[in-house]
């Protein structure tokens, strides 16, 4: 898995590249992790302090070391600043599948970054990890994230009613999946 971790940290696209998640980058990550609008639908708790963000990064690094998650910081090539985090997790070795997740600073929403991130992760998961299927679970109100997945060939596989309880309100979960189209 170590080789795959290194590869995941070195993915590169047209506007972005991935790099190793590091506690030293907590200040940049805190810019979006502490934003209520960004954290609302991603499954992370709002990071109120830089210390909370640093502690959460340490948790993520422990998960990656344990082999249960892959994390990368997403860097904007133009500004060289960290603008998000990419995640592959919930690996199911028997079914040969995993879940993807991503979070972006809101200043980078609706500019094609998310679509590029999911394309890079999907290509990596199918070609380097040899996974059969990827899936993602999205809060139904997160329309932008659902569009990103659809643009990358993920199909709707279902809806879980009142699956999330966020800010005193119930939200449905939308399930998306993509099966590799590589020859086996």
CA atoms within 13 A on the CB side of 7: 14
- What's the mean per-residue pLDDT of the chain? 94
β-bridge pairing 155-166 and 133-139: unpaired
For 70-124, the pLDDT digits (tens) are 999 999 999 999 999 999 999 999 999 999 999 999 999 999 999 999 999 999 9
Q: Which residue from 100, 104, 156 is spatially nearest to 129, judged by alpha carbons?
A: 100
**How many independent structural domains does the chain possess?**
1
Whether 180 is covered by a domain: the verdict is no
Beta partners for residue 155, in sequence order: 177
pLDDT of amino acid 184: 44
Question: CB–CB of 102/124 below 8 Å?
Answer: no
Please give the Cα distance from 89 to 25 (Å, whole number): 21
Segment 12-26, tens digit of pLDDT: 999 999 999 999 999
**29 found inside a domain:** yes
Q: Could you tell me which residue, 1 or 157, shows the higher pLDDT?
A: 157
| Percent of the chain at pLDDT exceeding 70 | 98
Determine, yes or no, domain membership for 23: yes
Range of the domain at 44: 2-131
Residue 101 domain flag: yes
Average pLDDT over residues 158-166: 94
With 90 as the cut, is the pLDDT of residue 68 above it?
yes
CATH number for the domain that contains residue 111: 3.40.630.30
Q: Per-residue pLDDT for 32 more than 80?
A: yes
The closest of 21, 42, 25, 174 to 106, measured between CA atoms, is 42
pTM: 0.94
pLDDT for res 118:
98
| Alpha-carbon distances of 87 from 9, 39, 91, 184, rounded to whole Å | 11, 15, 11, 25
pLDDT at position 10, please?
96
Tens digits of residue pLDDT in 84-96: 999 999 999 999 9
- What local confidence, expressed as pLDDT, does residue 1 receive? 61
């Amino acid at each position: 898995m170590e080789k795959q971790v290194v590869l995941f940290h070195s993915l590169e696209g047209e506007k972005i590249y991935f790099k190793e998640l590091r506690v030293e980058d907590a200040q940049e990550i805190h810019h979006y992790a502490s934003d209520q609008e960004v954290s609302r639908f991603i499954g992370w708790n709002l990071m109120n302090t830089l210390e909370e963000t640093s502690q959460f990064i340490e948790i993520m690094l422990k998960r990656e070391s344990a082999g249960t998650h892959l994390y990368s910081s997403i860097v904007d090539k133009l500004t060289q600043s960290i603008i998000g985090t990419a995640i592959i997790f919930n690996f199911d070795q028997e079914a040969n599948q995993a879940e993807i997740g991503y979070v972006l600073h809101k200043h980078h929403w609706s500019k094609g970054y998310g679509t590029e991130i999911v394309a890079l992760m999907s290509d990596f998961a199918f070609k380097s990890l040899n996974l059969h299927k990827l899936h993602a679970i999205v809060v139904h109100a997160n329309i932008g994230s659902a569009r990103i997945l659809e643009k990358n060939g993920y199909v709707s596989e279902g809806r879980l009613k009142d699956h999330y309880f966020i800010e005193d309100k119930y939200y449905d979960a939308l399930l998306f999946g993509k099966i590799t189209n590589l020859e086996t």
